[in-house]
Chains A and B, each alone.
Chain A
Amino acid sequence: MKNNKWKWTLGLLLGFSTSVLAQQVIDRSKLFKRESPYERYTTYRVSVTGGLGLPAGTFGDYMDKTSLRNYTLGLDFVFPKNNMSLGVSVGSQYFKNRLPRQVYNFDGQDISAVQTRTFSAYPLVVTGSYHIGKVNSLVRPYIQVGVGGAYAEVANYWGAIATGDNGFKFVAQAGAGVRVLFKKTGNLGLELGATYQHIPFTVESEGIKDASTLNVRAGLFYRWW
């Protein structure tokens, strides 16, 4: 309460000073209903999420295992009025599946080996988000799309003999989620979401046409101005 009183006094003083300086009369009733900075300026948001990676498509045939080594760090410019935000995100994904020894039959060739199938990707994407609800809403669902590039590697180890391919690949992402502020006027919140990530990546020897994954993410976000 004491604190509030202080704010009132400061607000009044500020109000008077601006009116004097700018020769602008602000209605007393409006003075204390000024929008928060989040509603006035472009503000910042950083989010760190991690979670479950699920292989999809032809990649799912190669990688028959989910991963928890799946992280995303995002930085966004949050616009005050139009419910949009624009940002960049970097990710790190690693999948590994060890298959017990078996004999693989090819045309005129048989190979007995323990396979260690791995996939890693480090995407860097530019993201655009549209939120449902105003910038200061406690709960803000969102949809997000992103495009960018990734260093990706498919490495299948037959015993210790590596086969596969790697390189810089195009990345397209589409996702949805929700951000929940811990406090109505707070900076910190919970982020939950799922992102489908498509990387065109052909590895004929493994029957892979695209390294697509569904990433289910949970983490924290922090906003400031």
Chain B
Amino acid sequence: MGSASPQFLAYAFAVILVFNFSRSVAWRQFALLAASVGFLGFFSLHPLAFLPLAAFLAYGFASLRLMQAKKANLYAPLLLLGIVAFMWLKKYSFIPAVLFLPHPYLTLGLSYIFFRALHLIIDARNGDLPPDISLLSYLNYMLNFTTLVSGPIQRYEDFAAMQLAPVPLPLNLLVAGEALERIIVGFFKVNVLSLFLSMIQASALNSLHDNGPAGARILNGVIIAAIYPFYLYCNFSGYIDIVIGIARFLRIQLPENFNRPFASDNFITFWSRWHITLSTWLKTYVYNPLLIVTMRRWPSPAAEPFLGVLAFFVTFFLIGVWHGQTSVFIFFGVLQGLGMSVTKLYQVLMAKWIGRKRYRELARNGLYNVATRGLTFTWYAFTSLWFWSNWKQLDALARTFHPGEIAWVWLLIFVGSSVILALWEAMRGWLLSFQFQGQPLLLSRYIRTAANTALVVISIGTMSLLNAPPPDIVYKVF
């Protein structure tokens, strides 16, 4: 079952009907767990395939209980055990293959279960969690089928506050309408926009010939590199829209994971708007502790900004490493870390050289913003090459272009993205400037009703006409 397919939606709506049969906490917990277990059943029916996942869940629950029982001496070994077990089950390439389990097993959602497990262990040790986390609540938090596949990563306290509340979140007509709107928009993003964008990129890749004219090759290079970030955004944020909408029908409010990332004018802002819950998790559990530890080790105010640069690099290097099991993702991590740390270093040095006030003024300059927005997009598009391809494909791509052509490709992407994103921002601002009853006309429920109806018709029409299987979610494999 595709993660954003009509079948998934049909399953989710069946669950919504059953879930809302009763408002009692017990019923809601039982219904959600049954729905999550049922969802897993779509991916395998072989009991052996679930054993590693079950063992990892058992590890998480046992560790949580041990931390709540104040067994502080087990804290580091348990964290280490979790990290090693995760890498082993995900078959990281540096681990000898002979050590891997011989039979096929399910790793669906393991990465997100891993984050949730570490969050529970760390916060339980710090006493930040409620003391009475039952096995049922734990399993519901870990396996919630709306967040299992690709997040978003919700904190346990936020989840429990809604799931275990005696009075569930209200579900009136307006809320239902907004939830449905999220599902429709997400479905359109995944099944229409991302599908077309992937087709455009695939077509450009197919028409990339060594002996073609240089102009056509450069244009194809621009399309190949620049389309992917938009494709990934539509694919991933569309899926998140869908699960946020579904979860709201299940009386759970999931955190947002995207906030117009391509409007970012620097790479640090970009990562605070892109996969927000992952970057927030890493900031909470990697960046902040690392910064504190290094500041204690080198307690100099002058060194503090540079320690931040270092902490940024390590944190976002880990983001890259988390994404995949091969060396290409290590390089992806290095590039993410470089993007973040160089941006931070630039901010520190500019504030030092021209003064904070003048730097703030510069950062507010419209033309400067246009260029930095384009640069941020270009850097992300460049680093994405190590996200969607492997070394062999990268080698083939590099051989296709002459060095001068590669320079042209990135120059065109920088100029093009600067102009297009600036125009987009300007048009968005202009459209939102029209007011109706104290809010932008474009956001009135009448316009939104018409727009969402159109999206439904276009989605159904496109899916019927193309007759292609719905695209799967890129982040499902992580």
Are the chains A and B members of one assembly?
Answer: no
